[in-house]
Amino acid sequence: MASMMDAELKEMTQEERATALGMTTEQLNGRTMLIEFNEDEAERFTYPWAPDVDFNKRTELDTDNLTATQVNTRIRELMSEGYGSIVIQNPRGKHALGVGILNKLNLIVDGSLGYFGVGLIDGPTVRINGRVGWSCGENMMSGIIVIEKNAGSTFGAAIRGGDLVCKGSVGSRTGIDMKGGTIIVGGDTGAFSGFMMQRGRMVVCGNAGKNLGDSMYDGTIYVGGKIQSLGVDAVPAALTDLDKAWLTRKLTQYELMPEKGVDHFTKIVAGKQLWNYDNLEPAEKKLIL
């Protein structure tokens, strides 16, 4: 009997399977996430203890013989001295450089970073002239990060705000647990990108690996190339004029605008069938997945 039910479920569409298992397509409406603010209230945009820096005051920091802790400490010291533009020289792939910067800053990395580069930041503008390892920009709150070459896996994990841009290709699980902000990839992305995505927008100018948007709760993914496969509850949607205008503006801003424009992009959103996932019994969960 169970095998017959399994066979019937496999022949159904995702919506038919969800209905057969007692799930509903009703869209849940919670409290709005919209934040209203007065742009004149500067205290909402800076931390009360944040140093006042001058972007025209520039210095260089040679990190060749320094540990990651020493580098990060020195960055904070330079900001307290008023330096608003800092150039990191000889990073040599060190891990966890530039993390936890909660201040306005123009940070330039002349080279490549290792794992967990410039994570947990809130405010700085970062340009990395080389490559980055896993989890670059993890838990980024606001600001801009631009990587000129390639990036490793879990690029922008749990990002909450700002723009995270890689002009090359990235590894798997890009934007895993993404909670806001924008991730832009100039090349390809690996498998399970957008996994458990909750909010925000992801743009992939090249191809996307298998299980794109798997178990995504909300948010939007745009892909300019081929998609190997969609994950659970990720579905195509119509590309609107508003989508095209936003894509054009963002990609032009970071010099990643394709010659053929943005009309060819595929838009992926959440089917929202898993919004009622917790109501299923364990055996039913196994069947739906």
Domain ranges of the chain: 58-288
Beta-ladder partners of 74: none
Whether residue 163 is predicted with pLDDT greater than 70 in this model: the reply is: yes
Instruction: Return the percentage of the chain with pLDDT > 70, whole number.
Output: 80
CA 69 to CA 64: how far, in whole Å?
13
Indicate the CATH number of 58-288 among 2.160.20.60, 3.50.50.60, 3.10.129.10, 2.60.40.10: 2.160.20.60
Write the pLDDT tens digit of every residue in 93-110.
999 999 999 999 999 999
pLDDT of residue 1: 45
pTM, to two decimals: 0.83
Whether residue 167 is predicted with pLDDT greater than 70 in this model: the reply is: yes
pLDDT of residue 277: 55
Whether residue 281 is predicted with pLDDT greater than 90 in this model: the reply is: no
Beta-ladder partners of 139: none
Determine the average pLDDT of the residues in 133-152: 97
**Res. 48 pLDDT band, cuts 50 70 90:** confident
Determine the average pLDDT of the residues in 184-211: 97
Largest CA distance in the chain: 75
Cβ distance 238 to 219 under 8 Å? Answer: no
**Res. 175 pLDDT band, cuts 50 70 90:** very high
Residue 49 neighbours by CB distance under 10 Å = 7
pLDDT of residue 274: 75
Beta-ladder partners of 234: 270
pLDDT of residue 68: 96
Residue 177 amino acid letter = D
Determine the average pLDDT of the residues in 73-85: 97
**Res. 190 pLDDT band, cuts 50 70 90:** very high
pLDDT of residue 63: 96
Beta-ladder partners of 87: 60, 108
The values of phi and psi at residue 246, to 5°, are -65, -45
**Res. 26 pLDDT band, cuts 50 70 90:** low
CA 287 to CA 289: how far, in whole Å?
5
- Secondary element (H or E) of residue 79: helix 68-80
CA 246 to CA 274: how far, in whole Å?
28
Which residues contact residue 255 at a Cβ distance below 8 angstroms, ignoring those fewer than 6 apart?
167
Whether residue 81 is predicted with pLDDT greater than 90 in this model: the reply is: yes
Determine the average pLDDT of the residues in 24-52: 61
Determine the average pLDDT of the residues in 235-251: 96
Among the residue ranges 16-30, 36-50, 214-228, 248-262, the one predicted with the least confidence is 16-30
Residues in the chain: 289
Q: Measure CA 9 to chain center.
A: 34
**Res. 33 pLDDT band, cuts 50 70 90:** very low
**Res. 4 pLDDT band, cuts 50 70 90:** very low
Cβ distance 200 to 216 under 8 Å? Answer: no
109, two tokens? 């990395």
pLDDT of residue 2: 44
Cβ distance 51 to 103 under 8 Å? Answer: yes
Determine the average pLDDT of the residues in 171-175: 97
